Amino acid sequence: MSCLQNTFYTMQLFSTQLLPLHFHSYQFLINHPSLLTSFIFCSFFLILFSFMQWWHHHHHNHKRLPPGSLGWSYLGETLKLYSENPNSFFSNRQKWYGDIFKTHILGCPCVMISSPKAARTVLVTQANLFKPTYPPSKEKLIGQEAIFFQQGACHSMLKKLVQASFLPSTIRNSVSEVEQIVLKLLPTWANRTINTLQEMKRYAFEVASISAFGETNELEMEEIRELYSRLEKGYNSYPLQLPGTSYWKAMKREQQGIKSKLATENRGLSWDDTRHMPFTTRVMEETLRSASIVSFTFREAVRDVEVEGYIIPKGWKVLPLFRTIHHSPHFFPQPYKFDPSRFQVPPRPNTYMPFGNGVHSCPGSELAKLEILLLLHHLTISYRWEVVGNEDGIQYGPFPVPKHGLPLKITLRKKIFT
């Protein structure tokens, strides 16, 4: 209840209940006009002062809220977000309102941030003022005990436990294990049409399972996979470079040199080999930029916070828009053009965040990069593929995924590097 409402309520209580109980006091005021005038004067100024405080507080905060639209009651702009390309949804509002704007999605008032500096403020420099969060529906699904929601000492302890599987030494020693998964998986694709989306999920799951659980029998793995598939509803995907493009040809030449070396030395891939794939690495980096795995992340202001001149009220969600930053022409010229050469020069600080930023960034980022490199190596040197059907592109429901799972026909090469 506001100060103004409290004042009116007090005056109403005074006039309707206290005065009748003190009729003689009321008569006394009537008989002494100067006291009555003073009482009215004080009451008036009390109401006026309370109103001015309320108006100043409301007007001050309202004026400094980021521009934007909260849409319809409760639904906000959720339907718009889920019914159109999220890239267009965010980029249009960025054009209308600027790099920081408000909206209302998934039942929550939100502030969207597409400024690298502001994103760093939320995720790194003032991360203590923005706790990790999700909309209530998603938070219930994940569970409040998840590491994502923890902070301070608890988060540090859990992160150390998780990072034990992703230490540089652990990643280096996992090259052969991940390669074996690739070599086991690829023959099952040969000479048939695969659903690329589902197969990529299968591959990523098996690599993650080895890192998280070590060796497990097939029955246990299938049970874990079934539980995970119930939880997982959609992934962002990264596109494959199809045969015939200049990028694919260049990547093929690079992998040919590595393959020749491996054949001479009669061994599999090593960590050092993956560090000598500069072009393939740039293709991977450009893929992660153009089709960001994490479009945005959720934070919640723990108190009123000022960011770049705007007030973010306590309890509001704050979403750094990684995908929007990655598609900004100010940081990546011709952002919708697939151009790996742009990564010959490191991007500007805080403009490239495919795995997030700060203490809650993805701990498995290096493992994810490794599995991409190993898959691309064996796929490009041993197989051909082509899209099946005429329909391709991206569909949103709500996560961006390839239409029909991007069906590909995979065939084994008769001769290597023909």
Segments making up each domain of the chain, as ranges: 3-64, 78-412
pLDDT at 5: 42
pLDDT at 13: 36
Q: What is the H or E stretch that residue 132 is in?
A: strand 130-132
Please check whether residue 105 is in contact with residue 77, taking contact to mean a CB–CB distance below 8 angstroms.
yes
* CATH fold of 78-412: Cytochrome p450 (1.10.630)
Q: What mean pLDDT, rounded, does the chain reach?
A: 78
* Most confident segment among 20-34, 42-56, 249-263, 401-415: 401-415
pLDDT at 58: 53
Among all chains, which residue has been given the structure tokens 């980029």? 91
pLDDT at 34: 63
The per-residue pLDDT for range 208-236, each reduced to its tens digit, is 887 777 666 666 667 777 766 665 543 33
User: Average pLDDT of 32-43?
Assistant: 60
3-state secondary structure string across 178-229: HHHHHHHHHHHCCCEEEEHHHHHHHHHHHHHHHHHHCCCCHHHHHHHHHHHH
What DSSP character marks residue 347?
A: P
The torsion of the CA quartet 195, 201, 206, 211, rounded to 10 degrees, works out to 160
The per-residue pLDDT for range 295-320, each reduced to its tens digit, is 888 899 999 999 999 999 999 999 99
- φ and ψ at residue 112, rounded to 5 degrees: -95, 135
pTM of the predicted model, to two decimals?
0.70
Alpha carbon distance 327, 342 (integer Å): 13
Count how many Cα atoms sit within 13 Å of the Cα of residue 194 in the half-sphere of its side chain.
Answer: 20
